[in-house]
Each structure stands twice: as structure tokens, then as C-alpha cells.
Structure 1
């Protein structure tokens, strides 16, 4: 079993302020026995601000500060940040740090949808990333990635029992329903636990943001490989802690045959 806490927050445009949010969240989660603490996509700084001017490398001061927090509390922290890409854009990166590990996952599928063009400023990643904590392998995905079942099946093939999905989901008609369906569908597709950790809805926390930017709707959700929901939050700031049993992923795959019965055209 692996205890994981999702921290649903509304990130500000100030990386230093958001670092303090991470510090508080990690301290609280670790105090309750969590081994992994997850923050949303864009935890370093929310969308709707000039992210290129804020981007730092994985060995930069912001990421190093998160690493220190993780080390102090003996946990693995996953948090969205921005790193510079070789072509002059940035990568939408998940920082994964703690328990002797320090790495990043660059978001593969970019949000060129619903009138937003992430690719104008963000370069896509190209590598599937997993990390292992206490013998449980976790896959990494970010927000719009959840619309692509191939990634989740690839992560399952790489040994993932669960996939952590930090997100800053765009608001709009039907978007909450799509989010909830997609988390459960990807869990069924892959047999993995899927843990979607979203930015809280700024309206629920009284924060004014750029209305054209995807700044979150809340409703973080955890589903197992049978599609069963084990935890779900509302729109506002909150946390959810779950116990991940990797054996459930094995049982789900054996029952549904979702991986074993695949046929390639």
C-alpha cells in the first residue's frame, strides 16, 4: 500500500508564494503519513501570466527548494513547473523530487483545444516517465494527456500501478463531466489507479484570474482500475488522501483483459 495526498490549491502568479503553499501542504500531508504529495499542474505559477520569464531548470532555485522540502519531510513531491526548452519555448514540466530522486516529466500532449493554443509557448515532451516509491511504480501525465489512452497503456506496460495526473483543467460547459469521465476511462483502459490533482476553481477561492486561461475547476478525483471512484473533491481548496494498493491494478487487468487482449491493426 502507498499513501498519497493530493493538494488541490489555487496557485498564484508568484513562484515564491506558491513555494510556501507547497511547504505547508507537504508538512501537513507528511504529518498524516503520506509518502507521496501531489500538487497541480502550474503549481510554480498559474497560467495566464508570462510563464517564459518564470521558467527555471530542474536544478534551479525553485526546484531545489521543493527538493529540500521533500527531503525534510521524507516524501516524494510532484508539482507542476516550467522549464526552458531548446527551441526558445518552455516545457510544461512535472517536477518529481524526494526519496533520493529528482527528475522531470515534460508534458507530451499540448492543449491546442477549446480555443487555447498551448503550443504557441510550450514545446512538447517526448519521453514516458515512471518513478518507484516503496516498491510501487507511478506513471506521470499532465492534464490534456488524459485524453490519450495510448499514454496510459504505455505507462502500464512500463510497470505503473498508478498514474498521477496534475492538471489545471479549463473551465467551460461540460468540462467537469469530461474530466470525471476521462479519469475513470483511463483507469479502465490501463488497469491503473488514476489520481487527478487539479487546480482549485479560482472563483471558489475568491481569486481573480485571466478568464481565457485554463486556471482550474477543482474536482480532483481518484479512480482504480475498475473505474471505481475512491475520492473526489469539490471546486475549492482541499486535500484528499488515498491508500493505493497495486494488487488492485493486477486484478483489474486480469478481469477486464484491457491490456492482454489488445490487437494492433
Structure 2
């Protein structure tokens, strides 16, 4: 720790003298790594997308339109140099409680998932996977995950590698009353993936309202969490960005917050480990991507995390 304190003192002294940022001063003061030290990971360019959300999984034309928009935004992200593009909950479809209701279109009830256009949905996901391979870009995309009847689907995030393979799936754990009563079965576990040396956690839907899930990911030593969220117009959704920024700052990691393209709601963006915006999509609700280079903040990590972990152990949090 003495070495760490001395390094920080020298960095701050240089920053005060030259007017450089702490990060710039650190680059000039830090000793060159020895030959046997592992190389430092280059920043990971992540694109977060806000896109149009449609609510009827039986609408084949709507599913195709959503898939086409997702692929257009994937192309935009790749052109901007992103290695990973992250989409909102409902990027292909976000079923509302009436769309598949067994009680009819005007009354909420258990969903009849046999009416969903599964073949079209799976074809759109297949096209996304092929484009991910073609563009060499990792893609994180939400969609219902079909399960054998009579089991309900999961509300899921698929992780498609830059070679077009589905390498992970996260199932939303903290379902709303509507989702749990009528639509989905909950998931059971956190999921992480590693992209270019960076470990990323996954969160979906109502997960954003549960801080313990984000503390869990900190304990799993992630560099960031990809959060996909769709409110469906529920009052209070403006708190989502406040919560996400707080989790980023409290856990000293990055958060990518993907939401729908909706001028009346929060906009998508990437939040740094101090809780500030590093990139954001247009607030007017235009479908778009924003890109930021995720990196490890030498001033905050691992020092802030180590301190929090020691404190938690000491006070049994």
C-alpha cells in the first residue's frame, strides 16, 4: 500500500503542476511494465442502442421490422468501431399483458404463447447472429426464450459472439407481477461473459431496481454490467437512470443502459465508474447508438473495491 500511496502522490503532484487530468498524469508517471507482467487490456469500445419496441409477438411484420432496425444499428455500431453492441429489453418484441391474453384483447390473462410468431422471431435472431459474424461484433440482444410447453418462456438476454455463436443467455430474475402472473418463468442465476479481456455482467428488466444484484456482480469482479430495460410507460421510470448511475459509482464499474427509443422516457447511454455519462443517445428518442471505450480506472479500481470488500467483511454486510 505504501507504493500505491507514493504513486498516487506523484501523479497528483504532476497533475497539479501540468494541468493534466489524473489519467493523463498517471500514464506519464507509471513505471513501464516489466517483461514478465501481463499486458494491460486496451479499452473495449461498447455501443449502446436505443431502438423501436413493438408489443405484439404475433405480428410477423412487426418482428421483421424490429429485426431490420436491430441489424441497421449493428452496422452503425461496427462502423463506429464498437466491439460489442448492446440492445434494450424488447428490441425484437416486448409483449404487453394483452397481446397474447387467453381472456381476449381487452383483459389481462395468462399468455397463449402458441399464438406467437416463433418461426419469424427465430429467423430474425438467426439473421442477427449471421450479421454479428459478418461484422465481427459481439451483440447482446433481448428476446423471449422459447421452452417446451407447458413451460412459459424466459425473458432473456442472448450474447452472440463476434463469430455469430450464442455463447451465453441470461434470464431475468426479478419479474414484475405482470410478467410473473401472465408471461414468463424467472431465471435463477447471474451470468457473466468475457470480451477482449473485460468481464461483463448481464441484467434485464426489473433487475435494475434491485441493488443487491449489482453488488453481486461486483463480488464477481466484473468490469461492467449491461442493463437492458423497458418500462412500457410505467410511471416512475425516470428513476432508472438515477439508479443505474448510483450502482456504477457505488461499485466502481461501468454500466451500459439500453432503453427504447422514446422521447418521453430515459435515453440510452454508457455510465462510467464514477457515475457520470461517458456517452449517450439522442434524448429526442431517435433510434441510434452511442459508443464509449470501457477501460479500467486505475484511480478507482482495485483500491475502491478492496476497501469496500474489507469493510463489508468487517461489519458483516
TM-score of Structure 1 vs Structure 2, range by shorter chain: 0.7 to 0.9
Which residue number corresponds to residue 155 of structure 1? 217
Quick check: which one's strand share is greater? 1
The C-alpha deviation readout for 1:29-79, integer Å capped at 9, x for no partner, is: 10111000111101121332337343759x943332221111010010011
Is 1:35 paired with 2:100? no
Contact 1:8 1:218 in 2 (8 A): no
Supply the RMSD in Å over aligned alpha carbons: 2.5
Distance across 2 between alignment mates of 1:77 and 1:3? 13
Report whether the alignment pairs 1:248 with 2:297. yes
TM-score, normalization by structure 1: 0.83
Shift >6 Å, 4+ stretches: none
Partners of 1:150 and 1:94 in 2: how far apart? Answer: 19
Unaligned stretches of 5+ residues in structure 2: 1-42, 57-61, 101-110
More helix by share: 2
Count of aligned positions: 245
- Deviations 1:68-105, CA, capped at 9 Å, x for gaps: 11101001001110012465211100111022441211
One of 268, 273, 280 as aligned partner of 1:232? 280
Asked if 1:8 corresponds to 2:73, the answer is: no
Question: What is the TM-score with the length of structure 2 in the denominator?
Answer: 0.70
SS at match of 1:17: helix
In the alignment, structure 1 segments of 5+ residues that lack a partner are 205-215
Per-residue CA deviations over 1:122-147 (Å, capped at 9, x if unaligned) read 11101211111111111100121011
1:62-101 equivalence runs, <5 A = 62-85=124-147, 88-100=151-163, 101=165
Q: Which has the larger radius of gyration?
A: 2
Contact kept in structure 1, 2:144 and 2:154, CA below 8 Å: yes
